[in-house]
Structure 1
Amino acid sequence: MGRVTERRRVLRIRDGVVGHRADTLVAEEPLEIRLNGRPLAITMRTPGDDFALAVGFLVSEGVLASADDVASVVYCAGATADGHNTYNVVDVALAPGVPLPDIALERNVYTSSSCGLCGKASLDAVRTATRMPPLDPGIPRLTPELLSGLPDRLRAAQRVFDRTGGLHAAALFDGGGELLDVREDVGRHNAVDKLVGRALREGLLPLAGRVLMVSGRASFELVQKAVMAGIPVLAAVSAPSSLAVDLAAESGLTLVGFLRGSSMNVYAGESRFSFADTPEGARS
């Protein structure tokens, strides 16, 4: 299988000193996702957790809701010229009776590592999905203190980032702030798909009462993936997009952006917050 990191020779210039050295880079390779043998999507990703990535992607598209929907997940023969498997093609076979969705019949999709799949079909998948339960508006109960500690916990768990400096991460926390899982990838949406896919394969969906923390910004695609996995809270260290805020408000998801230390903006779902420990006059 592909490697998570690769080494490249670079010319390094530091304070007027010039020299060559080996540098560690995050690996990026294409992954073709097939559904019942038919090509469905190609995403640029960091190799690893490919099966989880594939099924997590299908959760966000409204295709899968539980492990029982999956008959098998296998690598296909995406071979090189010398006949070796590239491990860059994954086929997900649906269990008998699971309907083949329109997205498999109408289109093939390319998603980049920086921007996941986004379009009318993705939006419709969220707005018309009936297989996922609605998000509980009161769970989990959040405090600013609980959320303020999540970025440091996420950063401390980023093992590959420490070697490359070029990797995004997504982490899943319980309602008390305990880290449950973390995945890294060159793309934020891929890291989330890997988290969700692992949860589906372990029979843990929907992820009620969980908090999803991501590096970078909060895009529409990430809100979509959280909602489809039943995650009620999405927190990001940077800004959300307008469509992300709209979808979060429409879906009942709590969306937090610019989460840095004790500062944060709550863009939707503030009903889950408790300010019992906030001093009088400290809120406006």
Structure 2
Amino acid sequence: MGRVTERRKVIRIRDGAVSTRPDTLVAEEPLEIRLDGKPLAITMRTPGDDFALAAGFLVSEGVLGRADELQNIVYCAGATVDGSNSYNVVDVRTAPGVVVPDITLERNVYTTSSCGLCGKASLDAVRTTARWSIDDTQGGTAPPVRLEPGLLASLPDRLRAAQRVFDRTGGLHAAALFTEEGELLDIREDVGRHNAVDKLVGRALQEGTLPLSRTVLLVSGRASFELAQKAVMAGIPVLAAVSAPSSLAVDLAAETGLTLVGFLRGSNMNVYAGEHRVTLRATAAQG
């Protein structure tokens, strides 16, 4: 299996002084995801949690939603020149009777470590394939998740404190799941934010805990449409990011009932959608 970090020689310049030293870098390798033996997607990822990544990816594609729909995931034998197992190719086998949505069957996609799926379909694809509704404004058996701004403000420091590989490399994104009380449930790191989220969601699928209906997803960078989609598909009601959201992410959040928080830095934040889940006491400023 590939290594999470690798060592490379660098020339270091500090205050005019030049030295040579080894540096620890985050590893990045391609992962091909096959579905029932057929190539589906290639992503650039940090090795580790590959099975969870593949499972989470298929949750976001609307293929999987329950642990019993997943038969198994294996590394592919014979995928290398010498016929040995390739740890950069995984095959996801669905259980008998699982129907694969047309949006997955009709395309072979390439993903990158930074942007997720390229040329992703419109908001309609998410609306028609999402298994769980996160729109709790119409009433229901359980009260909506309610979050104090102070609790949200505390989450980035908790995420950063748990980033073990980042401390060694400075080059990884992270995604973390928290309870509505702020308890850290899980954290995953990867060169790509969307990969880190897939690893979280895939682990939840394997453990039978989907939908993640009373959790908060925090990501270490911006909130793209891809990440909002993954939150909705996993039944996560709150997505928070330390940087900016995209316009399409805000549109998706508003349409599906997702609470979307951006620029979560210190005690400051912007709530772009789903504000009913955030306890707001101050009078809104005019302007």
TM-score category (smaller protein): over 0.9
Aligned to 1:106: 106
1:32 aligned partner: 32
C-alpha separation in 1, matches of 2:130 and 2:269:
32
Other-structure match for 1:93: 93
Which of 241, 249, 254 is matched with 1:244 structurally?
249
Q: Percent sequence identity over matched residues?
A: 78
Q: How does 1:111-126 map to 2 (within 5 A)?
A: 111-121=111-121, 123-126=123-126
Aligned length: 281
Alignment partners' CA distance in 2, 1:94 and 1:214: 29
Match of 1:183 in 2: 188
Q: CA deviation at 1:4?
A: 0.3
CA displacement at 1:77 relative to structure 2? 2.3
Deviates more, 1:125-134 or 1:207-216: 125-134
State the one-letter code of the partner of 2:89: V
* Greater displacement, 135-144 / 251-260: 135-144
Q: How many Å separate the matches in 1 of 2:170 and 2:236?
A: 28
Structural RMSD (CA): 1.6
- Whether the 8 Å contact between 1:135 and 1:230 is mirrored in structure 2 is no
Match of 2:8 in 1: 8
Displaced runs of 4 or more, over 4 A: 281-284
In structure 2, the CA distance between the partners of 1:162 and 1:120, relative to structure 1 (3 Å rule), is closer
> Cα deviations across residues 134-186 of structure 1 (Å, max 9, x unaligned)?
44345210111110000000000000000000000000000001100000000
Task: List per-residue Cα deviations over 1:117-139 (Å, max 9, x = no partner).
Answer: 14354644311025323443452
Aligned to 2:153: 148
Report the counterpart of residue 173 of structure 1 in structure 2: 178
The TM-score normalised by the length of structure 2 is 0.93
TM-score by length of 1: 0.94
Q: For 2:116, what is the secondary structure of its paired residue? A: coil
Amino acid across the alignment from 1:86: S
Q: Identify the range of structure 1 (111-120 vs 45-54) with the bigger mean alpha-carbon deviation.
A: 111-120
Corresponding residue of 2:261: 256
**Alpha carbons 1:220, 1:244 under 8 Å: kept:** yes
186-195 or 8-17: bigger deviation:
8-17
**What SS class does the counterpart of residue 142 from structure 1 fall into?**
coil
1:45 partner letter = R
- CA distance, structure 2, for counterparts of residue 197 and residue 51 of structure 1: 8
From 220, 232, 237, the equivalent of 1:232 is: 237
Change (3 A) 1:29 1:120: closer
Give the conservation status (yes or no) of the 8 Å contact 1:212–1:233: yes
Aligned counterparts of 2:231 and 2:122: Cα–Cα separation in 1: 13
Report the equivalent of 2:140.
none
What residue in structure 1 maps to residue 270 of structure 2?
A: 265
Q: Output the CA distance in 1 between the equivalents of 2:153 and 2:109.
A: 37
The one of 182, 197, 203 equivalent to 1:198 is 203
Gaps of 5+ in 2: 138-142
